[in-house]
Chain A
Amino acid sequence: MNQPLSNASKSKEASEGSSKKGDHDLVQRVQAGDSAAFRTLYDKYHRRAFAVAMGVVKNEDDALDAVQNAFIKVHKNIHRFQGSSSFYTWLYRIVMNVSIDHVRRTSRRKTLDFDERALHEESEVAGDGALVPRVTDANPGKAALRRELGSAIQAALAQLPEHHRAVIVLREIEGMSYEEMAEALEVPKGTIMSRLFHARKKMQVELAPYLSGEVVSED
C-alpha cells in the first residue's frame, strides 16, 4: 500500500465543504424552530454518532442512551451554536463527552458481584445479548469471525484510557482530521497526535492475532 490518504482526504474535504454549508443551513432552520430540519440532521449523523459512542461505552444500550442524550443536548443548546466550528465536530464533542461521562459513572458504580458478572460474560460468549450486534452475513463463518473481531476490538478499546479511546475512534471510525479532532476534543493538535500514536500502539498489541490481514476484510 504505502499510499497516504491525502488524496482521498482532499476529495473528502471538498465534499465536506458543501456538507458543512448544508449543515449550517439546517442548523439555522432548527434555530428558527423547524423540527423537520432537526430530523434531517439526526438522519444524517445518528448512525455515525452511534458508532462513535459504541467505541467508547461498553454496549449497545449505553451507546443508544449516549446518542439520545447527545441529540437532546444538541436540540437544547442549538441556539448557542454560532457556526464558528462545523456542526459535526460540535456534535461529536457532545457525543464524546456524554459517552465518557457515562463510562465514568458506570465505572464508579460497579456493583455487580463476581458471580453475576461471570454469568454475563458467559452469555456474551454464547452470543445471547451479545455486546456486538449480530452481523447478518450470508457466510456464517465470516459472520462469526466478524463478530469475534467486534468483541476483540471492543475489549481492546476498553483497555485504553478514555481520551486515547476517543481519539482513535474519531480518527479510524469517523475519519476526522487532526484539526477536527483537536476542535472536537478541545486539545492541541500535538496532544491528538501523541494520543493517537499510543492508542494505535496499544490496539496493535491487543489485536495482534487479528491484524495479520487474514481475518479482516472489507467486503
Chain B
Amino acid sequence: MDSPEKEDEKLQMFFDGELAPEEEAAVRRSLEGSPKAAAQLREWEHLRTAMKSVATDWAGEIDSDALFARIENEIGAPVVPIARPKLEQPGLRVIPDGRERRVWGGVATGFAAAAAIFLAVMAWPEPHLDPSPIVRGSQVLEADFGSNTGTIFEVEGGAGQSLAVIWIDDEEVGLP
C-alpha cells in the first residue's frame, strides 16, 4: 500500500494521463472501491472544464490584426541609439586662471611649511627643563594634503633632535 502522498500523486497522474498503461489499469481498478478518489477526480474535471471554458472566452476577445500591427510596429521601429549622459572624468576639474592659482598655491604652501617647522620647534621641549631622556624620532599620525600631493621629511634639528617637516606641493592632483 502506498503512502497518502504517493496515492495522491498517482491519482493526479492518472487524471492527467501521465501513467503507463499497466499503472493506469491498476488505478482504475482501485477507484471502484474508493468513492473519495472518484469524487476528487470529478472535482478536478469540473475545475478543468471551468478553466477551459473561461479561457475560450478570453481568447475569443482579441483583435488579432490590431495586436499584430502593434508587434510589427515595434519590430519595424528603427533602433534609436540610447543617449548616454556624457561622463566627466573623475578627479579632473578645469580651473580658470590655473597659472595664477598655482602661484598663490605655491605661496600658501610655503607659509604652511614654515608654520609647520615653527610649530614643531616651538613644541619641542627645552633640554635643560626636562630631565627625561630625549626621545629621538618623530611620529606623524595624519597629514591632510587636500587635493595636493606632498612629502613628509624627517630632518635633524639644531640640538640633534629629529623634526618632522611636511611639504605640500603646489600642484593639485590631476591638473595638467
Give 29 CB contacts A-B under 8 Å. Answer: A1-B42, A4-B28, A5-B17, A6-B24, A8-B17, A42-B68, A43-B64, A46-B62, A46-B64, A46-B67, A46-B68, A47-B64, A48-B59, A54-B55, A68-B74, A72-B74, A75-B75, A132-B54, A146-B53, A146-B57, A149-B54, A172-B47, A172-B52, A193-B9, A211-B43, A216-B50, A217-B49, A217-B53, A218-B52
Q: Are B74 and A4 in contact (CB under 8 A)?
A: no
Q: Are A55 and B55 in contact (CB under 8 A)?
A: yes
Q: Are B42 and A173 in contact (CB under 8 A)?
A: no
A63 and B46 CA atoms in complex are apart in Å by 25
Total interface residues on B, CB under 8 Å, equals 45
Closest to A215 in B: B50
Judge if B116 is at the interface, Cβ distance under 8 Å.
no
Residues of chain A within 8 A (CB-CB) of B59 are 47-48, 50-51
Knowing A42-B68, A193-B9 touch, does A207 contact B50 (C-beta < 8 A)?
Answer: yes
Q: Are B70 and A50 in contact (CB under 8 A)?
A: no
Residues of chain A within 8 A (CB-CB) of B67 are 46, 64, 67-68
Chain B 124-140 interface residues, beta-carbon cutoff 8 Å to A: none
Judge if B48 is at the interface, Cβ distance under 8 Å.
yes
Contact with A along B73-98 (1 / 0, CB 8 A): 01100000000000000000000000
Judge if A153 is at the interface, Cβ distance under 8 Å.
yes
Residues of chain B within 8 A (CB-CB) of A149 are 50, 53-54
Name the distance in Å between A74's Cβ and chain B's nearest Cβ: 9
Residues of chain A within 8 A (CB-CB) of B57 are 132-133, 135, 146, 150
Identify the A interface with B (CB < 8 A): 1-2, 4-10, 39, 42-43, 46-48, 50-51, 54-55, 60, 63-64, 67-68, 71-72, 75-76, 132-135, 146, 149-150, 153, 168-169, 171-173, 177-178, 193, 196-197, 200, 203-204, 207, 210-213, 215-218
Knowing A8-B17, A72-B75, A197-B12 touch, does A207 contact B47 (C-beta < 8 A)?
Answer: yes
Knowing A68-B71, A132-B57, A150-B57 touch, does A213 contact B42 (C-beta < 8 A)?
Answer: yes
Knowing A9-B17, A193-B12 touch, does A133 contact B64 (C-beta < 8 A)?
Answer: no
Q: Which of B27, B38, B56 has the most CB of A within 10 A?
A: B56
Q: Are B48 and A172 in contact (CB under 8 A)?
A: yes
A54 and B132 CA atoms in complex are apart in Å by 89
A68 and B58 CA atoms in complex are apart in Å by 16
Q: Are A211 and B46 in contact (CB under 8 A)?
A: yes
Judge if B118 is at the interface, Cβ distance under 8 Å.
no
Residues of chain B within 8 A (CB-CB) of A210 are 46, 50
Knowing A211-B43, A218-B52 touch, does A6 contact B19 (C-beta < 8 A)?
Answer: yes
Q: Are B71 and A71 in contact (CB under 8 A)?
A: yes
Knowing A1-B41, A46-B67, A193-B12 touch, does A218 contact B53 (C-beta < 8 A)?
Answer: yes
Name the distance in Å between A34's Cβ and chain B's nearest Cβ: 14
Judge if B121 is at the interface, Cβ distance under 8 Å.
no
Residues of chain A within 8 A (CB-CB) of B51 are 55, 153, 168-169, 172-173
Q: Which of B12, B42, B58, B74 has the most CB of A within 10 A?
A: B58
Closest to A6 in B: B17
